[in-house]
Amino acid sequence: MKQHRLAAAVALVSLVLAGCDSQTSVELKTPAQKASYGIGLNMGKSLAQEGMDDLDSKAVAQGIEDAVGKKEQKLKDDELVEAFAALQKRAEERMAKMSEESAAAGKKFLEENAKKPGVVTTASGLQYEVVKKADGPQPKPTDVVTVHYTGKLTNGTTFDSSVDRGSPIDLPVSGVIPGWVEGLQLMHVGEKYKLYIPSDLAYGAQSPSPAIPANSVLVFDLELLAIKDPAKEDAAAK
């Protein structure tokens, strides 16, 4: 029951604002008030992403009122368990459908992209374009490199960017997604590549973020700035 009660609490907190009259004035002055609004805002966005757009805001408000007022609940626990199970099943079915659609769209994108001039497809299925050539050294799997990157979905939506943050990052070549591991070893220091990474070389069905749908093809503008020298790093640390 603990998980179901937590899910119920999340739903109640997040949707109560939706059930409020738009003319009602809400105080957002104290830290508690601001935090309360933030909880509702974040949870509301999460539920919207799950497709739960048919929940009854009046019933949500009634549930909050009964809980806060310590009134007898209008539904038995087993009825609530059944209701949450139905919502969970619906959410899982929706996510499965979205995952299938994303996989199909990704496959079609890569098939069309492979036909473009300058796009190279490797044996693994990774696709890349050389945007800027250079003659620097190439990293090995054991190296740590400094890179700048912008990651996008195939529709052009940016989900992460060191360029936007204004700060390149250091990372181990062997410690990133397979598409990056392969792509980085193709590059020379000073080069810029555009990587088109199939979902099985990225995150597959296990998305690390709501910004990246499951089974997404990822597109990266990647610049290899440097290969870190362990000897110099050790000397600097002493």
Q: Of residues 128, 149, 193, 196, which has the active-site annotation?
A: 149
Radius of gyration of the chain from Cα atoms?
24
149 given a catalytic annotation: yes
CB-based contact 223:150 (threshold 8 Å): no
Q: Is 197 a catalytic residue?
A: no
Residue in this structure with the two tokens 């806060």, named with its chain if needed: 68
Annotation says 193 is catalytic? no
Selecting among 203, 212, 221, 227, the annotated active-site residue is 203
CA torsion 36-37-39-45 (nearest 10°) is 160
Q: 109 near 119, Cβ under 8 Å?
A: no
Query: Which residue out of 128, 193, 196, 220 is catalytically annotated?
Result: 220
Rounded to the nearest 5 percent, the helix, strand and coil shares of the chain are 45, 20, 35
203 is a catalytic site residue: yes
Does residue 160 have an active-site annotation?
Answer: yes
Name the residues annotated as catalytic. 149, 159-160, 177, 203, 220
